[in-house]
Chains A and B, each alone.
Chain A
Amino acid sequence: EPEVTQTPSHQVTQMGQEVILRCVPISNHLYFYWYRQILGQKVEFLVSFYNNEISEKSEIFDDQFSVERPDGSNFTLKIRSTKLEDSAMYFCASSESRDTATDTQYFGPGTRLTVL
């Protein structure tokens, strides 16, 4: 069964450093998402992406964050200058369409980001 993959599974970085989290969505999917879960808190929506542009973003997704589909398979989340509070599990998801009523978002296993 096709699945969403994410690398690395765990990333440790120093505060102020840039990090790139990578995701390979399911191959025929057109919509891509990033969510995050700070330890002990809810999974929160960050951003959705379609046709090479952001279609929706949350208030969390500020100028420090960016997303990109650099080639036909990868979908990346970049954090320009990491802060301690960026430490979280980051989940990538993909779907064929944007309508959750008719379609399903498939999630990857997550990347645990630790900012020291």
Chain B
Amino acid sequence: AQSVTQLDSHVSVSEGTPVLLRCNYSSSYSPSLFWYVQHPNKGLQLLLKYTSAATLVKGINGFEAEFKKSETSFHLTKPSAHMSDAAEYFCVVSDPLFGNEKLTFGTGTRLTIIP
């Protein structure tokens, strides 16, 4: 079965410092991987996705993620945190073997930015 594990439930960084949100996945086939962000009282917004093309994926707002098959990881990074980055971040996997439209979510990481 497909699954994702987000290793940190809460991450705090100072404004202007790098962000690292960790995600490991389990999938039996060639997965699609996503990061979604949820700001308070807003819907889930797609940040970026990996779909078997380039392993380094660039998303919106300066975020990027690297697909590492050998480590089954898809960590999200940003070189310099901004106050507006404070939100909940979800790592998500879908696997053609389990029905391509079904998204499987991690438990989420709450990112706090310290001024």
Contacts and interface: CB of A to CB of B under 8 A. Distances in A.
5 contacts: A41-B107, A43-B108, A45-B104, A101-B100, A107-B45
Interface of A: 3-4, 9, 31, 33, 35, 41-45, 48, 55-56, 58, 91, 93, 95, 98-102, 104-110
A91 B38 CA distance: 12
Nearest to A100: B94
Contacts of B49: 100, 104
Contacts of A99: 100-101
B115 interface: no
Contacts of B70: none
Contacts, number: 67
B40 to A, nearest CB: 10
Contacts of B45: 107
Interface residues on B, range: 20 to 34
Contact of A105 (B41, B42, B103, B108): B103
Contacts of B99: 56
B18 interface: no
Interface of B: 32, 34, 36, 41-46, 49, 51-52, 90, 94, 96, 99-108
Contacts of A104: 46, 49
B102 A48 contact: yes
Contacts of B42: 109
Contacts of A109: 41-43
Contacts of B96: 101
A80 B90 CA distance: 30
Nearest to B49: A104
A30 B56 CA distance: 30
Given A101-B52, A101-B96, A102-B51, A107 B101 contact: no
Contact of B32 (A35, A44, A100): A100
